[in-house]
């Protein structure tokens, strides 16, 4: 499961636009700022000395000072505060800063938080993979021949090449990629984002590109970032882990699951294999891989057939009472019934008045689509109505609910699902009744639940269950993905991408208070002005992947058209975005921490077809990576304990975690803030010296290269070459963030963990729409349920019926079950995976200390039935292959792995495999054409929302023993 | 049998263990970084069933199997797992491109401290596993102490912690043969035996051992064995749900385990079978003795009670609402200590 990016920085720009001055009008934060907790008083250690053997050990446990630290740019979906113990000028070891206060007396506290990786970052930052000096390639790309150069030489050469490219092809030919390893909320990352914007680079949008995009939630909710504090899990009575393995991937939070069991909760895991999380579950549903939607829909069938659903909740919060025309399968629209009526106003049958009424909250309800409050209306969930149209004709209409029930009863009974899922019908009934019968049920389905071809269908079925049972928006309930706290101060100092006209247009909305839908429109507007391109679209158009992805066997067989057709239509209609334009080439690639050859599907294609297009590849990282070695320059970034910063603030813990500088950087490493500041300074100087001025920026708008450093530094407000500059950034952030309790950078760094005291306004990665109460657990979506705020969808509801033409064409207007393109593959095995407990993506993957606690090399897990059939025994080296690619690794024969599955956990570096052929070589990643859809309410692209997903799981393969 | 004034002890709740090895790493970075200690892990975590660390240690003998001392096998370094070295520099800077990849240097390993991670036993779909973290048991009847002809192993009077006196140790390694849990390592550089010290330098400052205090799963309770107000006594003596590993070894460990429940098993038709446990009773009995069945029954009954809305002291103990209460008074935050 990935957590990725968290391109909150871009988010910063967006909310800078969205929040701009406007949320001053509607503050959600308390007027009075609460003080933070006082620092723990120091006491003198007892002086104990025996003058015998026992002093040997006492002397090992001493230190000179303790500094708060965390792993700011690790892109771990957690945030844990550590005490970094420094001795003799070296960050020697770390131990958790376990100071978290509980929300309530009857809920466990969050201590100590942290994992084995965080507990040995001191080791990683001193490891051999560490980059200490600027390196220039002197051999072939990937050969590993380097020359140590000075910073000045490196930056001057890079600047000159970027200027050349900008002059010739515009700055969109410079591709900036922070991938999945982009960092935090603080100065450790702001320099990167400022560079990207100051230079008007093409920005790779990897949110869907790393398959962390819950498209089913985009389609249903019009958003997807939702999660509260992890202690809210403790209050659930029926906890379903549905595609995910939190015992490995949510190590600091997992205890709440097991403590909830001691409170009486049931822990249910839905997964093909018996995972580390399943080991502690009460029930395990070992379904056939990728049959999740069939299970979910069968459970829904049981709930409805046995009348276990919450009719009032469903009538208010979902589109299930909405009327559909039976003639064309589209919603009944006001425009159908009234001449000149709106196309985005939809009807329910109101039993109170006995007539059709436009549903409150839908986009075109005439009141801004803001409220779901039904007043005296009683929407009918069921019944066929004859409706007279504007032209006098009569059309038959039925409710979404009736259509859904008919489909469920016809296709998705537990007995039918048993044939698809391999689960006994009683198992499905036990599950459905358990979920519906519990006081509070939740589904943990985070990023891992986005990595299959039809993940969106899985998610639509999951939300359906949470809606039928009235759990979405309830304490201890609902589907939980992930979310972040926002800091108002992140909007400080940046330039708003919106022009004056845009801002003026927002004023009337802002005066009423921005609705979730208003925020979404702002994010989209900002995104459209910048150089965002979804990764899969970039690879399709520029990366050489078209030939692979157009192959007939990789298409959804229920569609009559090839993905190429959908791509053409989507680009032509402006639904998806390509930067640089189709007729230009990407020419420079700047990667800050990310590692595409480790991550992208079939990286051999990018190596062969995309890389030659680049005149210049620059990797900025604290460590060497599988991709860095294919760069022309490798620039050394300071390690996490060598610079100050703020970890992106995951909502699991109601604290914002900050990292102080424990030691000076190794060698000549520098903070990213300084590196990018020096780079823009050099670009400006070289442009001036060379007489280069205005070039083509985003959308070919003019961009003056001589002023790029002014844009980087907010017109000189910052001076990245000044060692105190990062603290100025920290000060600016905290001084303007009333939702947390530190007021300055120093105060925040001394706390390490800065308490959240209120909800900040919504942001691009903060869409919980729930007010934070420091005396209770936190959970998402309360505004919709408790304040009747409309959801940011076309219908204003959790929308289960999508009458977009592509969805009708694909027969996905309702949640359904479909097989992946590999369903009829002649290859017998399927590649599965998931994040490992041993790394955060490829960071920590090569740490010697941790490799010694594994097999020390890449491995796959296979069931003994599959290995026996192939003459393979534990410890053998095997070749995992298909027509597209192959890699070799060691086999672990495991009774807990499902027959037919080959599990390769996440993120081995390609350089850990023979000939650097890594685990992604066979991964073709066919992706779903429907994810290119747009032009329909919540179905659209903007950065970090709604784009085709990389599909790392489910690839058809076979395995053979390597002689 | 040694009697000390007091005895510290640990209880590990296997129903909460994540197998994450934060304990192992916390211990490693604190105590075993020096030359000669590279391969040592005073704390290990193994997937059970499995051959564990050192390989097949449960069959190596030692302890007091029938009441009398018996020397067992001496585990080899390879059985613990060698400290693998890698060729990072060659891969990154050697100029050999893709002809060289990151590899363990020297002979291919055949075992390691977590070699059988997440493999488990049984037949799919009724396969099963759980994690078993282990430290030195700081036994009340320590076989290592009795076996050492140099009297170089001390059981401290104030807390019952078993420590090797490296000034007296001559590297004879009878302790390694005698310890039935095979939790003693040999330092080939210093030529002495080394083992878990229950973090006594921390305990002396009121700080819980690193493996316990750093455990994100909140698995480990620490405290004096006889403190009737603290969780250890309540879990071991009052509720009798925490049991020593392999009591038949006869050393009377002071580390205790709350046994794992495991998910429901499937019957032949694929429906849930709530009539018997997924983790076979006989396997758990082989690890924890006959009393494990009673412990599991108690745990299940108390959980049923809270499901009915009643209160249960046992469940509240295991929830451990306040993390610092798990440490029997050893709750000082080390960050607050100032060395003078």
Whether residues A853 and B21 touch (CB distance < 8 A) is answered with: yes
- Residue B106 domain flag: no
Taking only the tens place, the pLDDT of each residue in A80-95 is 999 999 999 999 999 9
A102 in Cβ contact with A109 (< 8 Å): yes
- Taking contacts as CB-CB distances below 8 angstroms, the residues of chain B near A114 are 22, 214, 216
| Of A24-28, A502-506, A746-750, A810-814, the least confident | A24-28
Q: Is B323 on the interface with A (CB under 8 A)?
A: yes
| Of A326-330, A524-528, A774-778, A842-846, the least confident | A524-528
* Residue from A146, A262, A834, A903 to probe the interface with B (highest B Cβ count within 10 Å): A262
Q: What is the mean pLDDT of residues A329-352?
A: 97
Q: What is the mean pLDDT of residues A808-829?
A: 97
Q: Is A48 on the interface with B (CB under 8 A)?
A: yes
The residue ranges of every structural domain in chain A are 135-211+529-645+662-719, 228-310+406-480, 322-380, 821-961
In the Cβ-directed half-sphere of A200, how many Cα atoms lie within 13 Å?
Answer: 26
- What is this model's ipTM? 0.98
Pairing of strands A633-636, A135-137: antiparallel
pLDDT number for residue A735:
95
User: Which chain B residue has its CA at the smallest distance from A866's CA?
Assistant: B124
Query: For residue B340, what pLDDT band results from cuts at 50, 70 and 90?
Result: confident
pLDDT number for residue A635:
98
pLDDT number for residue A353:
97
Whether residues A66 and B335 touch (CB distance < 8 A) is answered with: yes
Residue A871 pLDDT exceeds 60: yes
Q: What is the mean pLDDT of residues A34-48?
A: 76
pLDDT number for residue A27:
38
Residue A17 pLDDT exceeds 80: no
- Find residue A238's DSSP bridge partners: A266, A441
- Taking contacts as CB-CB distances below 8 angstroms, the residues of chain B near A914 are 101
Cα dihedral B16, B20, B21, B23, rounded to 10, equals -50
Contacts of A734 (CB under 8 A, 6+ apart): A487, A489, A740, A742, A743, A744, A745, A747, A748, A754
Q: What is the mean pLDDT of residues B225-232?
A: 96
Q: Round to whole Å and give the CA distance between A632 and A619.
A: 8
Q: Is A899 on the interface with B (CB under 8 A)?
A: yes
- Taking contacts as CB-CB distances below 8 angstroms, the residues of chain B near A248 are 18-20
> Which of A255, A861, A874 is facing B218, going by the closest CB pair?
A255
- Taking contacts as CB-CB distances below 8 angstroms, the residues of chain B near A255 are 16, 216-218
DSSP secondary structure letters along A295-326: HHHHHHHHHHHTT-S-HHHHHHHBSTTBEEET
Class of domain A821-961: mainly beta
Residue A719 pLDDT exceeds 50: yes
Contacts of B75 (CB under 8 A, 6+ apart): B54, B55, B57, B60, B176, B182
* Residue from B53, B110, B118, B316 to probe the interface with A (highest A Cβ count within 10 Å): B118
What percent of chain A clears pLDDT 70, i.e. is strictly above it?
A: 95
- Residue B141 domain flag: yes
- Residue B185 domain flag: yes
* Residue from A37, A40, A42, A54 to probe the interface with B (highest B Cβ count within 10 Å): A54
Whether residues B340 and A47 touch (CB distance < 8 A) is answered with: yes
Query: For residue B33, what pLDDT band results from cuts at 50, 70 and 90?
Result: very high
CA B67 to chain A, closest CA, distance in angstroms equals 31
Q: What is the mean pLDDT of residues A23-46?
A: 58
Q: Is B294 on the interface with A (CB under 8 A)?
A: no
Q: Round to whole Å and give the CA distance between A62 and A44.
A: 12
Q: Rg of chain A over CA atoms, in angstroms? A: 27
A429 in Cβ contact with A283 (< 8 Å): no
- Residue B102 domain flag: no
pLDDT number for residue A593:
85
CA B177 to chain A, closest CA, distance in angstroms equals 23
Angle, in degrees to the nearest 10, between helices A672-690 and A187-198 = 30
Taking only the tens place, the pLDDT of each residue in B164-188 is 999 999 999 999 999 999 999 999 9
Q: With b meaning 16 or more CB within 10 Å and e meaning fewer, what string describes A182-209? A: bbbbbbbbbbbbbbbbbbbbbbbbbbbb
Interface of A with B in 58-77 (CB under 8 A): 58, 60-63, 66
Q: Is the peptide bond preceding residue B145 cis, with omega within 30 degrees of 0?
A: no
CA B47 to chain A, closest CA, distance in angstroms equals 10
Whether residues B163 and A915 touch (CB distance < 8 A) is answered with: no
Q: Is A345 on the interface with B (CB under 8 A)?
A: no
Whether residues A144 and B339 touch (CB distance < 8 A) is answered with: no
Query: For residue A850, what pLDDT band results from cuts at 50, 70 and 90?
Result: very high
CA A407 to chain B, closest CA, distance in angstroms equals 26
Count of H helices and E strands in chain B?
11, 13
pLDDT number for residue A499:
79
- Residue B101 domain flag: no
Q: Round to whole Å and give the CA distance between A284 and A896.
A: 12
Residue A419 pLDDT exceeds 50: yes
- Residue B92 domain flag: no
- The whole-chain average pLDDT of chain A stands at 94
Interface of B with A in 123-162 (CB under 8 A): 123-125, 127-131
Q: Round to whole Å and give the CA distance between A74 and A844.
A: 10
Q: Is B76 on the interface with A (CB under 8 A)?
A: no
CA B282 to chain A, closest CA, distance in angstroms equals 18
Query: For residue A494, what pLDDT band results from cuts at 50, 70 and 90?
Result: low
- Residue B192 domain flag: yes
Q: Round to whole Å and give the CA distance between A382 and A402.
A: 6
Query: For residue A6, what pLDDT band results from cuts at 50, 70 and 90?
Result: very low
- Residue B246 domain flag: yes
Q: What is the mean pLDDT of residues A766-773?
A: 93
Contacts of A485 (CB under 8 A, 6+ apart): A649, A650, A651, A654, A656, A739, A740, A756, A760, A766
Among candidates A952, A504, A513, A515, which has minimal Cα distance to A769?
A515
- Sequence-ordered alpha helix ranges (H) in A395-541: 400-411, 414-421, 425-437, 455-468, 500-512, 516-529, 535-541
Residue A18 pLDDT exceeds 80: no
Q: Round to whole Å and give the CA distance between B101 and B104.
A: 10
Angle, in degrees to the nearest 10, between helices B291-307 and B281-288 = 120
| Of A687-696, B1-10, B46-55, B77-86, the least confident | B1-10
> What Cα–Cα distance (Å) separates residue A457 from each residue in A207, B169, B238?
19, 65, 51
- Taking contacts as CB-CB distances below 8 angstroms, the residues of chain B near A660 are none
pLDDT number for residue A766:
87
How many CB atoms sit inside 10 A of residue A850's CB? Answer: 24
Residue B266 pLDDT exceeds 50: yes
pLDDT number for residue B2:
58
The burial class, CB within 10 Å (0-12 / 13-18 / 19+), for A51 is exposed
CA B302 to chain A, closest CA, distance in angstroms equals 9
- Taking contacts as CB-CB distances below 8 angstroms, the residues of chain B near A903 are none
Taking only the tens place, the pLDDT of each residue in A548-590 is 999 999 999 999 999 999 999 999 999 998 999 999 999 999 9
Taking only the tens place, the pLDDT of each residue in A258-275 is 999 999 999 999 999 999
> What Cα–Cα distance (Å) separates residue A106 from each residue in A231, A758, A764, B102, B235?
11, 21, 33, 50, 21
Contacts of A328 (CB under 8 A, 6+ apart): none
Whether residues B337 and A42 touch (CB distance < 8 A) is answered with: yes
Conformation bin of residue B97: beta by default, left when phi > 0, alpha when psi is -120 to 50: left
Q: Is B24 on the interface with A (CB under 8 A)?
A: yes
- Sequence-ordered alpha helix ranges (H) in B17-136: 22-31, 77-80, 88-93
pLDDT number for residue A510:
82
Contacts of A398 (CB under 8 A, 6+ apart): A323, A324, A326, A383, A384, A385
Among candidates A205, A537, A369, which has minimal Cα distance to A937?
A369
User: Which chain B residue has its CA at the smallest distance from A623's CA?
Assistant: B92
Q: What is the span of the domain harbouring residue B235?
A: 8-83+111-336
Query: For residue A15, what pLDDT band results from cuts at 50, 70 and 90?
Result: very low
> What Cα–Cα distance (Å) separates residue A321 from each residue in A315, A362, A464?
6, 13, 14
Give the predicted TM-score (pTM) of the model: 0.96
Interface of B with A in 213-242 (CB under 8 A): 213-218
Q: Round to whole Å and give the CA distance between A392 and A209.
A: 49
* Residue from A83, A116, A864 to probe the interface with B (highest B Cβ count within 10 Å): A116
Q: Is B30 on the interface with A (CB under 8 A)?
A: yes
Taking only the tens place, the pLDDT of each residue in A111-153 is 999 999 999 999 999 999 999 999 999 999 999 999 999 999 9
How many CB atoms sit inside 10 A of residue A57's CB? Answer: 18
Taking only the tens place, the pLDDT of each residue in A93-110 is 999 999 999 999 999 999
Query: For residue A40, what pLDDT band results from cuts at 50, 70 and 90?
Result: confident
Q: Round to whole Å and give the CA distance between A226 and A214.
A: 11
Angle, in degrees to the nearest 10, between helices A187-198 and A8-19 = 70
CA B180 to chain A, closest CA, distance in angstroms equals 23
Interface of A with B in 240-299 (CB under 8 A): 247-248, 251-252, 254-255, 258-259, 261-264, 269, 274, 276, 278-284, 286
* Residue from A852, A901, A905 to probe the interface with B (highest B Cβ count within 10 Å): A852
- Taking contacts as CB-CB distances below 8 angstroms, the residues of chain B near A96 are 213-214, 216
Q: Is B113 on the interface with A (CB under 8 A)?
A: yes
Q: Is A54 on the interface with B (CB under 8 A)?
A: yes
Interface of A with B in 789-848 (CB under 8 A): 837, 846, 848
- The whole-chain average pLDDT of chain B stands at 97
- Sequence-ordered alpha helix ranges (H) in A691-786: 708-712, 725-735, 745-751, 782-786
Q: What is the mean pLDDT of residues A895-913?
A: 97
- Taking contacts as CB-CB distances below 8 angstroms, the residues of chain A near B315 are 262-263
Q: Which CATH code is given to the segment(s) A135-211+529-645+662-719?
A: 3.40.50.12770
Q: Round to whole Å and give the CA distance between A237 and A241.
A: 13
The beta strand positions in B165-293, using DSSP E, are 184-187, 192-195, 220-224, 243-244, 255-258, 264-266, 272-277
Whether residues B319 and A263 touch (CB distance < 8 A) is answered with: yes
Q: Is B26 on the interface with A (CB under 8 A)?
A: yes
Q: How many beta-carbon pairs below 8 A join chains A and B?
A: 321
Contacts of A715 (CB under 8 A, 6+ apart): none
Among candidates A6, A3, A13, which has minimal Cα distance to A195?
A13
What is the CATH T-level fold of the domain A228-310+406-480, as seen in this structure? Answer: Dimethylsulfoxide Reductase; domain 2 (3.40.228)
User: Which chain A residue has its CA at the smallest distance from B53's CA?
Assistant: A853
Contacts of A909 (CB under 8 A, 6+ apart): A595, A598, A625, A626, A842, A845, A846, A918, B102
Q: Is B257 helix (H, G, I), strand (E, B) or coil?
A: strand
Q: Round to whole Å and give the CA distance between A649 and B205.
A: 34
Whether residues B216 and A875 touch (CB distance < 8 A) is answered with: no
pLDDT number for residue B228:
97
Pairing of strands A82-87, A90-96: antiparallel
Q: Is B262 on the interface with A (CB under 8 A)?
A: yes
pLDDT number for residue A508:
84
Among candidates A435, A459, A154, which has minimal Cα distance to A306?
A435
Among candidates A852, A914, A916, which has minimal Cα distance to A878?
A914
Q: What CATH code is carried by the domain that includes residue B235?
A: 3.30.70.20
């Amino acid at each position: 499961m990935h957590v990725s990016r968290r391109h909150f920085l871009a988010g910063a720009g967006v909310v800078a636009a969205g929040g701009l001055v406007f949320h001053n009008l509607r503050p959600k934060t308390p007027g009075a700022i609460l003080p933070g907790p006082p620092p723990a008083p120091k006491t003198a250690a007892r002086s104990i000395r025996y003058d015998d053997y026992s002093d040997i050990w006492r002397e090992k446990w001493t230190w000179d000072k303790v500094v708060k630290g965390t792993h700011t740019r690790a892109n771990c979906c957690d945030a844990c505060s550590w005490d970094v113990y420094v001795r003799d000028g070296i960050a020697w070891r770390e131990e958790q800063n376990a100071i978290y206060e509980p929300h309530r007396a009857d809920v466990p506290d969050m201590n100590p938080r942290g994992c084995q990786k965080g507990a040995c970052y001191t080791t990683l930052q001193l490891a051999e993979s560490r980059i200490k000096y600027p390196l220039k390639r002197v051999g072939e790309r990937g050969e590993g021949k380097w020359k140590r150069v000075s910073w000045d030489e490196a930056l001057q050469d890079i600047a000159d090449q970027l200027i050349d490219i900008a002059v010739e092809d515009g700055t969109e030919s410079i591709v900036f990629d922070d991938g999945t390893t982009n960092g935090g909320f603080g100065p450790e990352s702001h320099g990167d984002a400022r560079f990207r914007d100051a230079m008007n680079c093409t920005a790779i949008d990897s949110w869907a590109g790393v398959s962390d995009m819950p498209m089913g939630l985009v389609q249903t909710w019009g958003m997807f970032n939702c999660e509260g504090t992890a202690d809210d899990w403790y209050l659930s009575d029926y906890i379903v882990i549905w595609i995910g393995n939190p015992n490995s991937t949510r190590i600091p939070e997992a205890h709440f699951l097991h403590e909830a069991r001691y409170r009486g909760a049931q822990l249910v895991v839905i997964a093909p294999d018996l995972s580390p999380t399943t080991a502690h579950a009460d029930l395990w549903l070992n379904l056939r891989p990728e049959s999740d939607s069939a299970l979910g829909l069968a459970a829904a069938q049981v709930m409805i057939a046995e009348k276990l659903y919450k009719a009032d909740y469903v009538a208010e919060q979902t589109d299930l009472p909405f009327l559909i025309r039976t003639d064309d399968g589209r919603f009944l629209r006001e425009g159908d019934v009234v001449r000149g009526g709106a196309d985005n106003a939809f009807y329910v049958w109101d039993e109170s008045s006995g007539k059709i009424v436009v549903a409150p909250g839908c986009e075109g309800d005439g009141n801004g689509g803001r409220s779901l409050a039904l007043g005296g209306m009683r929407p009918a969930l069921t019944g066929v109505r004859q409706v007279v149209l504007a032209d006098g004709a009569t059309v038959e209409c039925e409710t979404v609910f009736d259509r859904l029930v008919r489909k469920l009863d016809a296709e998705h009974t537990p007995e039918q699902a048993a044939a698809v899922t391999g689960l006994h019908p009683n198992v499905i009934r036990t599950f459905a009744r358990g979920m519906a019968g519990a006081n509070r049920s939740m589904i943990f389905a985070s990023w891992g639940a986005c990595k299959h071809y039809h993940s969106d269908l899985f998610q639509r079925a999951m939300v359906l269950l949470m809606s039928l049972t009235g759990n979405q928006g309830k304490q201890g309930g609902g589907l939980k993905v992930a979310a972040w706290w926002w800091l108002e101060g992140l909007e400080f100092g940046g330039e708003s991408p919106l022009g004056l006209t845009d801002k003026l247009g927002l004023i009337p909305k802002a005066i009423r208070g921005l609705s979730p839908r208003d925020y979404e429109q702002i994010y989209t507007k900002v995104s459209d002005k910048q150089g965002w391109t979804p990764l899969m679209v970039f690879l399709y158009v520029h990366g050489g992947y078209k030939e692979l992805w157009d192959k007939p066997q990789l298409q959804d067989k229920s569609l009559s058209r090839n993905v190429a057709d959908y791509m053409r239509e989507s680009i032509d209609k402006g639904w998806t975005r390509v930067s640089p334009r189709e007729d230009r080439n990407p020419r420079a690639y700047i990667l800050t921490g990310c590692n595409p050859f480790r991550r992208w599907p079939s990286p051999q294609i990018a190596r062969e077809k995309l890389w030659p297009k680049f005149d210049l590849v620059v990797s900025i990282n604290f460590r060497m990576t599988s991709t860095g070695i294919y760069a022309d320059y490798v620039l050394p970034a300071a390690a996490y304990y060598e610079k100050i910063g703020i970890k992106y603030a995951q909502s699991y813990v109601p604290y914002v975690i900050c990292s102080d500088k424990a030691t000076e950087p190794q060698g000549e490493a520098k903070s990213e803030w300084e590196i990018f500041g020096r780079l823009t300074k050099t670009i400006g100087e070289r442009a001036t010296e060379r007489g280069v001025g205005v070039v083509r920026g985003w959308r070919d708008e003019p961009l003056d290269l001589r002023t790029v450093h002014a844009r980087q530094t907010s017109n000189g407000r910052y001076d990245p070459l000044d060692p105190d500059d990062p603290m100025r950034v920290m000060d600016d952030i905290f001084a303007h963030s009333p939702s947390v309790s530190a007021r300055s950078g120093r105060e925040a760094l001394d706390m390490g963990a800065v308490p959240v005291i209120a909800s900040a306004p919504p942001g691009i990665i903060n869409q919980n729409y729930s007010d934070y109460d420091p005396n209770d657990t936190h959970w998402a979506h309360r505004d919709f349920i408790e304040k009747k705020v409309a959801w940011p969808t076309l219908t204003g509801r959790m929308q289960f019926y999508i009458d977009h033409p592509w969805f009708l064409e694909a027969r996905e207007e309702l949640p359904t079950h479909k097989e992946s393109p590999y369903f009829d593959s002649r290859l017998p095995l399927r590649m599965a995976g998931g994040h490992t407990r041993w790394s955060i993506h490829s960071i920590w993957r090569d740490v010697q200390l941790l490799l010694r606690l594994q097999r020390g090399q890449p491995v796959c897990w296979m069931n003994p039935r599959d290995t026996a059939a192939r003459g393979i025994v534990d410890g053998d080296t095997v070749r995992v292959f298909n027509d597209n690619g192959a890699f070799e690794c060691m086999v672990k024969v495991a009774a807990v792995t499902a027959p037919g599955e080959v599990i390769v956990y996440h993120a081995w570096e390609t350089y850990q495999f023979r000939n650097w052929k890594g685990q992604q070589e066979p991964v073709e990643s066919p992706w779903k054409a429907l994810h290119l859809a747009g032009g329909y309410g919540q179905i659209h692209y903007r950065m970090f929302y709604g784009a085709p997903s990389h599909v790392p799981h489910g690839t058809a393969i076979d395995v053979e023993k390597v002689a | 049998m040694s009697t000390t004034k007091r005895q510290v002890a640990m209880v590990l709740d296997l129903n909460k263990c994540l197998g994450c090895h934060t304990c192992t790493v916390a211990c490693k970075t604190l105590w075993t970084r020096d030359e000669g200690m590279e391969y040592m892990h005073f704390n290990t975590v193994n997937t059970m069933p499995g051959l564990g660390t050192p390989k097949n240690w449960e069959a190596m003998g030692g302890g007091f199997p029938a009441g009398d001392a018996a020397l067992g096998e001496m585990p080899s370094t390879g059985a613990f797992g060698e400290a693998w070295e890698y060729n990072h520099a060659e891969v990154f800077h050697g100029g050999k491109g893709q002809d060289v990849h990151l590899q363990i240097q020297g002979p291919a390993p055949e075992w390691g401290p977590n070699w059988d991670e997440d493999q488990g036993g049984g037949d799919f779909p009724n396969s099963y596993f759980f994690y078993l973290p282990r430290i030195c048991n700081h036994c009340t009847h320590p076989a290592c102490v009795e076996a050492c002809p140099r009297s170089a192993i001390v059981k401290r009077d104030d807390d019952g912690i078993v420590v090797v006196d490296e000034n007296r140790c001559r590297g004879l390694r009878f302790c390694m043969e005698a310890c039935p849990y095979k939790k003693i390592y040999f330092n080939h550089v210093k030529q002495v035996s080394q083992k878990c010290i229950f973090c006594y330098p921390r305990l002396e400052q009121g700080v819980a051992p690193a493996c316990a205090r750093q455990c994100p799963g909140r698995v480990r309770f620490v405290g004096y064995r006889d403190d009737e107000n603290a969780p250890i006594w309540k879990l071991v003596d009052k509720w009798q749900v925490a049991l020593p590993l392999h009591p038949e070894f006869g050393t009377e460990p002071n580390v205790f385990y709350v046994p794992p429940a495991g998910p429901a098993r499937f019957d032949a038709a694929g429906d849930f079978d709530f009539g018997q446990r997924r983790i076979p009773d006989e396997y758990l009995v082989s690890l924890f003795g006959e009393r494990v069945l009673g412990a599991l029954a108690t745990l299940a009954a108390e959980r049923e009670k809270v499901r009915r809305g009643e209160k249960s002291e046992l469940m509240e103990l295991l929830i451990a609402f306040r993390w610092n209460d798990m440490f029997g008074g050893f709750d000082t935050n080390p960050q607050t200590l100032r060395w003078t």
